[in-house]
Structures are given as structure tokens and as C-alpha cells.
């Protein structure tokens, strides 16, 4: 069964200053998510599901669905304040949904097959999608724990020259199985490398996962636990990496780290855009991508 690509695209990009998921950065007017869809389709993914907010629906249908018509089936699910497990209601004062773990849970009724989870505003590279597709299409023996994977990037391949970044630093065992993801915030470019706080060789998570539908009931159970801890906190978020780490700790899942030498590109800050445009232009000139994807 061909896996599905789940693209998290509900964020407004507050630091960027606009709906960065639809900002053209490729030589043919492509967005970053266009490159992800292109790489996923040629790696063997059979469908794309976008998690968006309802207020983005018209823009996405006009600028995304029409572009991919006839190339890959596209579906949408909506992340919203009232999209909650039965019996829960949004607390007063809450303005935004609950983060990446909640966003993935919102797709529970749309996906029945193995799937990858990626961010709409991150460029992961073709190797990442090839590794995800190979892992997700490899039959696995039935067992008590779900078998997931995560593409692991070198920290020094994921930095921004125009501000600090937050990265999930990964610990793995000798067989490459993920043990934990620890969020490190405020990582500056000058802190990485010789004499710095970080060597640069650390493996980090960029929210590029390969999972199965076994994730959904675990997310709901953990979300209820999260809700009980912070019922009225207006800015608390339920993060996917933390949820997966909890599944590992409880013996509910094993996660294979798939290391890649690909460089990550992203538009965390608006000043990052020229670097992304230049990097994609170089990849097109090198022949890794056509001048116009779709």
C-alpha cells in the first residue's frame, strides 16, 4: 500500500509575517511545500493530506489543489479550537489550537494507511522522502509496539543565519532506535561548531516522521492527560515529538532514526527567504529538480 503524506500547514507563521506556506521561493514560482509534494510523489507516496485552518481553505484549494490535479490525490483536514476528543470543550481565552500533536490527531479519520508527517514550511530533500517511503512500504512483523521512523538531520545542516532556532536533539541506542527527543531553544549559529556549545554533529528532529495509524489512539490518550495537567493554560501546546517520546518510554512504539546528509532549508524568519531561493536555484541548476515542478 502506498503511504500518505500528511503536511502540517495550519500555522500562520507569526515570526515570518504572513502565510509562508504559500510564498513562492522556487524559480518557477514554487512554494517549499511544492518541493515536498514533488519529492514524495516520486518516492512512491500515493496521496497528500493537508492539515490547515478553515480560514485558509480557499487559498489552499486555489493555489494547491489545482496545481496537483491529475498528479496526486489531495485531501484536507482542519485543525480548530473545537476539534477535540469527546467531552472536552475549549477553555475561555484560548485563541490557537494545541500544536503539532493536536494537528496530527485531527487527521485521524482521514488516514488508514502508513503515513509520513512533515511541516509545510520545511525543505527536507529528496533523500528524506525516499527513506520514509522505503521504511513505510516495508512489511513488518506483528508485535506489541508500533514501528515508526524519524529522519534525523545534523544540527549544523539546520541552522538559520538570521536568528535563533529551536531543535529537538535526539538520543538513540546502538541500533539507531530513538530513545528521546529533547527540545533545545535559542540555538544561535555562532554556538555551533568548534568551541561552541554544540558540535554540529548532533542528530536533530525536524518533524519528519514515518508512522502508522497506531499513533492516533496514543495521541488522543496523551492529549487527555495533557488536558488534565493544563486545562486552562492559554498557550500550552501538545507537541508531536513529546508524544512520540512518551510512546517510546511506555513501550508503545519503537522509532528508527534514518540519518540523512541533506541540508534543511526553512523560512523561520523572513530574512531566511533569499537563502532558500538561492539554495533551490542551485538544486535546479544541478539537475535535481526541473525548472518548473508542476
| In-domain check, residue 291 | no
d(CA 108, CA 104): 7
Residue 34 has pLDDT above 50, yes or no: yes
CA distances in angstroms from 294 to 46, 59, 203, 291, listed in the order given: 16, 18, 33, 9
Q: Is residue 258 in a domain? A: yes
* Res. 139 pLDDT band, cuts 50 70 90: confident
Residue 156 inside a domain? The answer is: yes
pLDDT at residue number 127? 97
Q: Please tell me the total count of domains within the chain.
A: 1
CB-based contact 19:63 (threshold 8 Å): no
Would you say residue 232 has pLDDT above 70?
no
234 or 49: which carries more pLDDT confidence? 49
Which CATH number covers residue 127? 3.90.550.10
Contact 153, 260 (CB under 8 A): yes
186 located within any domain: yes
Q: Vertex 101, ends 216 and 63: CA angle to 5°?
A: 100
Q: Over the stretch 165-199, which tens digit does the pLDDT of each residue have?
A: 889 899 999 999 999 888 888 999 899 998 889 99
Segment 86-107 shows an average pLDDT of 92
Q: Is there a domain that residue 293 lies in?
A: no
Owning domain of residue 32: 4-286
With respect to residue 100, please indicate whether it lies within any of the assigned structural domains: yes
What is the C-alpha to C-alpha distance for residues 67 and 158, in angstroms, rounded to an integer? 29
Is 112 part of a structural domain of the chain?
yes
Amino acid at each position: 500500500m502506498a503511504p500518505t503524506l500528511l503536511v502540517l500547514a495550519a500555522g500562520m507563521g507569526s515570526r515570518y509575517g504572513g502565510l509562508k506556506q504559500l510564498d513562492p521561493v522556487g524559480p518557477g514560482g514554487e512554494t517549499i511545500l511544492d518541493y515536498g509534494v514533488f519529492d514524495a510523489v516520486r518516492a512512491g507516496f500515493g496521496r497528500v493530506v493537508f492539515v490547515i485552518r478553515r480560514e485558509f481553505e480557499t487559498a489552499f484549494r486555489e493555489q494547491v489543489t489545482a496545481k496537483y490535479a491529475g498528479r496526486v490525490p489531495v485531501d484536507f483536514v482542519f485543525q480548530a479550537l473545537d476539534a477535540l476528543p469527546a467531552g472536552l470543550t475549549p477553555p475561555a481565552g484560548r485563541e490557537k489550537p494545541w500544536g503539532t500533536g493536536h494537528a496530527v490527531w485531527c487527521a485521524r479519520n482521514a488516514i488508514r494507511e502508513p503515513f509520513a508527517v512533515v511541516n509545510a514550511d520545511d525543505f527536507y530533500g529528496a533523500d528524506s522522502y525516499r527513506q520514509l517511503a522505503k521504511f513505510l512500504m516495508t512489511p513488518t512483523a506483528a508485535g506489541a509496539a508500533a514501528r515508526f521512523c524519524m529522519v534525523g538531520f545534523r544540527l549544523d545542516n539546520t541552522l538559520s543565519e538570521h536568528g535563533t532556532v529551536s531543535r529537538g536533539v535526539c538520543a538513540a541506542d546502538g541500533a539507531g532506535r530513538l530513545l528521546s527527543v529533547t527540545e533545545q531553544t535559542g540555538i544561535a549559529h555562532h554556538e555551533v561548531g568548534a568551541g561552541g556549545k554544540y558540535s554540529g554533529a548532533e542528530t536533530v528532529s525536524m518533524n519528519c516522521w514515518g508512522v502508522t495509524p497506531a499513533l492516533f489512539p496514543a495521541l488522543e490518550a496523551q492529549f487527555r492527560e495533557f488536558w488534565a495537567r493544563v486545562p486552562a493554560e492559554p498557550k500550552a501546546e501538545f507537541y508531536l515529538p513529546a508524544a512520540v517520546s512518551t510512546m517510546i518510554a511506555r513501550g508503545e512504539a519503537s522509532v528508527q532514526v534514518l540519518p540523512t546528509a541533506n541540508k534543511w532549508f526553512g523560512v523561520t524568519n523572513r530574512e531566511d527567504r533569499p537563502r532558500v531561493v538561492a539554495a533551490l536555484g542551485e538544486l535546479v541548476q544541478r539537475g535535481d529538480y526541473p525548472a518548473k515542478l508542476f
